[in-house]
Amino acid sequence: MKNQLPTIAIVAAMLGLIGCGKSAEKPNPVSTFKLSGLEYLPLEREKLLISNEAVAGTGSMIFRLPRPKDNNYKVTFSLDKGSSVTLVTNADTKLAGGANLVFGRTATDKLTVYVTTGNMVCTPGDLKCDLSADFAGVNAAAPITLDFDVHEHGHVVHFENGLEKNEYAIDRVAGTFFGLKLNNAIVTNVAVAGPALPH
Amino acid sequence: MLKKYLVLGLVGLAGLARAEDGTGLRISGVVDTVAQGNLSSGNTQPTNMMIRGAEIMVAAPADHLFDGTLSVAAHGNEDVGLELHEAWIGSTKLIPRSRFRLGQFFLGVGRLNQFHQHDWPFIGTPRIHEQLFAFEGVFDTGMDFSYLLPVPFFLELTLGLTNGFVFGHSHNRASARPPKVATHYARIVGYVPMPFEGGSQIGLSYLGNRSNSDIDFKLIGMDLTAKWKNVRFNELFIQSEAWYRTQKTGASAPIDTFGFYVYPEYYLGENFFLGVRLDYFSNLNLKDAFGLDIPNHEWNVVPTVSWKPSEFSTFRLAYNHRPETLPTGNTRVQNYIEFQSVFILGAHPAHDF
C-alpha cells in the first residue's frame, strides 16, 4: 500500500474539490461521477476515493447505462498485496447475477484471476474458475491493463495486444449492467465497446 | 480449419456415392458462403468472406416405422470443429395423426428456427432472431410430439420438452448444469387459404426455460408464411415473425424485448427474385442504473436480390441500412452489403410448406 499512498493522497485531495459528502442513499443524476468518460454511480462509497482520473479504496460502482449482451472491456488498475478488483458484467442494478472477473495480487506479486457467475465462490486451484495459471507472467506490482470480451451466452475471451490469447466457458448470464468492486485497489481507466470477437 | 472441411468433404463424397442405393437414403452436402462489405464508418459488422456453414446431412427410413436424420456442420466463424446439429429418430406411422422426434433437433418453434440457415430466404439473421435464439437457431436434445387436431382444416399442435442445460449458442454445453425448469415449448400452426390461389401458414409459439443460475425466460411468438405459387416458383412469398420475451434473473426486474421481421419477395422472372426485409428490435423496459427509461430502437431495411438457377444453387446480394437509437441517446446508422452463395450436393430433404 505504501507505494500507492501518493496516488491516494492526490485522489483524496481531488475528492475534496468535487464534494464527497453527497449521499448515495437516494440515487439521482447529481450523485454520478465519470471515469474515462463513463458515467457511474457509487453503490458502496464510504471507503471510495473518487476523482475524474481514478477511483481508489474499497467499495463498488455501477456504470449508468445498460449494455448490449456482448461487450469488450479494458480495465487499468493497480493492486496492493492482498487487494483485488472485480469486473462485474451482465449484472442487475445491484451488480448481482452477472459474470465476475476477480483480479488479485498475491504476497509474491503474482496476479490471481478468478471467473465466476452469480454468487459462486471460486476455490483457488479449481481450474473451472481459477484462471491464474494463464496470467503467471503478469507482474501484479505494476499497473495492469486487461482486455476481455464477456458474452452473454457464457463466453469470456482474454486478449493481449489485441490478439485473442485465452477463452473460457462460464454459465450464461443475462443482465445489462456492468461495474467494479474494489478491495483496496485503484482503477484508473475503464473502456467498454462492442465485442472484439463477435459471434 | 482446412483439415476440418477436408474431413467433412470426404465424408460427404463417400456418402454421395451411395445416395441412390434404393433404401431411401438421402445424403446431401451444403456449403453456405457469405461475404460482407462495410459502406459506412463505425460499423460493428466485420468486412470479410467466410464459409458460414458447411453441412452434411443424412436422412433415411430406419425401418418400416421410423425415420432418422443426422446432420453435422462446421462454421467458418467458430473454432469448435464439427458441430452436431441434428441426430434424431422419429415416426409419422406409429401413432395415428401424429409425428414425433426423439434426439437432438432444432426446436420446433417459430419459422426460422426450424430451418438451416442455408435454407433461409435471405442472407443475414434478423435482429430479433439473433437476440432471442442465435445467429442460426437453437437446438437441444429431447423430444417433441405433433398431433394433427381432428378438425376440418389443417391445425397441428406440437409440444416439446428438451434438456435446457443451455439455450442457444454455448461454449459449455458439455459441462452445463441442469436447469431448474427444462426447456418446454408449444406451437400450434394452421393453414389459411389466401385470395388469388395463395396459401398461408400461421403459427403461434410459446417457449420457457429457467436455468440453473435462475435466468427465467418466456418467449411468445407468431409466424406467418404465405405463398402464391406458379409451376416452379413462388410468384409472391411473404415470411414474417414477431417475438416477445420476458426474462428475469433472481429477484431483479424483468427485461422485456420485442421485435419482428417481415420479408416479402417477388419473382422477377428468369430465376431472379426481389425481396425487402424489414427488421425491428427494442428492449421495451430498458432503464439506466437510476431506473430511468431509455428509449432504444433498432431497424434494418434489407433489399435483397436472389438468383436461383435451380433448387441446388442460390446467389444473393443484399444491402443493409441499419439505423439504431442507442442507450447512450446517440443514433448510429450502419450500411453494409452482403453476398451469399449456397450450393447443395445430393438429395436435400424437402421442408414443410
Give the mean pLDDT of B315-340.
91
pLDDT over threshold 60, residue A121: yes
Tell which phi-psi region holds residue B346, choosing left (phi > 0), alpha (psi between -120 and 50) or beta.
left
Question: Which residues does chain B have within 8 Å of residue A174's beta carbon, measured at their own beta carbons?
Answer: 215, 217, 247, 249, 255
Percent of chain A with pLDDT over 70: 85
Which residue among B169, B255, B291 sits closest to A176, beta carbon to beta carbon? B255
Dihedral pair phi/psi, residue B129, rounded to 5°: -70, -40
Mean pLDDT value across residues B128-150: 94
Q: Please report, as a single letter, which amino acid is at residue A119.
A: N
**pLDDT value, residue B48:** 87
3-state secondary structure of B243: strand
Grid cell for residue B37: 462489405
Task: Give residue B79's pLDDT.
Answer: 63
Please tell me the distance from the alpha carbon of residue B237 to that of residue B258, in angstroms, as a whole number.
24
B289-296: average pLDDT: 90
Residues of chain B found within 8 Å of residue A176, distances taken between Cβ atoms: 255, 283, 286
The residues of A whose Cβ lies within 8 A of any Cβ of B are 27-29, 40-41, 62-67, 69, 92-94, 96-97, 117-118, 128, 153-155, 167, 169-177, 194, 198-199
Lowest-pLDDT choice from A24-38, B39-53, B165-179 = A24-38
pLDDT of residue A23: 40
Residue matched to cell numbers 441446388: B312
The pLDDT-based confidence of B317 (bands split at 50, 70, 90) is: very high
Q: Is B117 within 8 Å of B52 (Cβ atoms)? A: yes
Say what the pLDDT of residue A17 is: 41
The CA distance from B350 to B28, in Å, is: 12
Q: Who wins on pLDDT, A5 or B283?
A: B283
Question: What residues contact residue B32 under an 8 Å CB cut-off, 6+ apart?
Answer: B51, B52, B53, B54, B55, B117, B118, B340, B341, B342
Q: How far apart are CA B62 and CA B246, in angstroms?
A: 40
Residue B11 CB neighbours (<10 A): 16
Kindly indicate the confidence band of residue B80, based on its pLDDT and cuts at 50, 70 and 90: low
What's the average model confidence in pLDDT over B48-61?
A: 93
Distance from the first to the final alpha carbon of chain B: 35
Over the stretch B14-41, which tens digit does the pLDDT of each residue have?
Answer: 555 454 567 789 999 999 999 999 888 7
Please state, in angstroms and rounded to a whole number, the distance separating the CA atoms of residues A84 and B121.
Answer: 51
Checking if the pLDDT of B319 tops 80, the result is: yes
- Rounded CA-CA distance B175/A179 in Å is 27
For the beta carbon of residue B196, count every other beta carbon within 10 angstroms. Answer: 7
Which residues 250-279 of B are in CB contact (within 8 Å) with A? Answer: 250, 252-253, 255
Angstrom distances, CA of residue A150 to CA of A67, A93, B276, B351: 11, 18, 34, 37
B76: helix, coil or strand?
A: coil
| Residue B352 pLDDT class (50, 70, 90 cuts) | confident
Q: B214 — contact with chain A (CB < 8 Å)?
A: yes
Nearest partner of B333 among B306, B300, B307, judged by Cα: B300
Q: Cβ–Cβ contacts within 10 Å for residue A81, how many?
A: 14
Residue A99, CB-side half-sphere exposure with 13 Å CA sphere: 28
- Examine the pLDDT at B338 and tell me if it is beyond 80: yes
pLDDT of residue B20: 53
For residue B61, the distance in angstroms to the closest alpha carbon of chain A comes to 36
The mean pLDDT of chain A is 86
As a whole number, the mean pLDDT across chain B is 90
A96 vs B250: CB contact, 8 Å cut-off?
Answer: yes
| C-alpha dihedral sign at A140, A145, A149, A152 | positive
Over residues A134-157, mean pLDDT: 94
HSE-up (13 A, CA, CB side) for residue B74 = 21
- CA distances in angstroms from A192 to A70, A124, B74, listed in the order given: 10, 28, 31
At residue A26, the pLDDT reads 44
Question: Does position B66 have pLDDT exceeding 60, yes or no?
Answer: yes
pLDDT of A27 reads 46
Contacts of A65 in chain B (CB under 8 A): 288-289, 294, 327-328
| Per-residue model confidence as pLDDT tens digits over B91-125 | 999 999 999 999 999 999 999 999 999 999 999 99
Averaged pLDDT for residues B52-76: 94
Least Cα distance to A179 among A114, A97, A111 occurs for A97
Residue A158 to residue A72: CA distance in whole angstroms: 10
How much is the average pLDDT of A154-177? 91
Q: How close B152 gets to chain A, by Cα (Å)?
A: 44
Which one has a higher pLDDT value, B147 or B166? B147
Question: What pLDDT is attached to residue B213?
Answer: 85
Beta-carbon contacts of B263 under 8 Å, excluding residues fewer than 6 positions away, are B121, B122, B238, B239, B240, B275, B276, B277, B278
Q: Do B328 and A153 touch (CB under 8 A)?
A: no
CA distance B334 to B322: 5
* Residue to test with chain A: of B80, B288, B293, most A Cβ within 10 A: B288
Q: Which of B213, B217, B286 is facing A118, going by the closest CB pair? A: B213
Query: For position A158, what pLDDT does the model report?
Result: 95
Q: What is the mean pLDDT of residues B263-281?
A: 97
In DSSP terms, which residues pair with B237 in a beta bridge?
A: B227, B265
What are the tens digits of pLDDT across the range A14-66?
444 444 444 444 445 557 899 999 999 999 888 899 998 999 999 999 999 99
Instruction: Assess contact for B55 and B118: CB atoms under 8 A.
Output: yes
Q: What pLDDT is stored for residue B139 in this prediction?
A: 94
Task: Please choose, from the candidates B290, B299, B287, the residue with its C-alpha nearest in 3D space to the C-alpha of residue B325.
Answer: B299
When pLDDT is averaged across residues A101-108 and rounded to a whole number, the result is 96
pLDDT at A12 > cutoff 60: no
Q: Calculate mean pLDDT across residues A100-125.
A: 94
Residue B240 pLDDT greater than 70, yes or no: yes
Residue B175 scores a pLDDT above 60 = yes
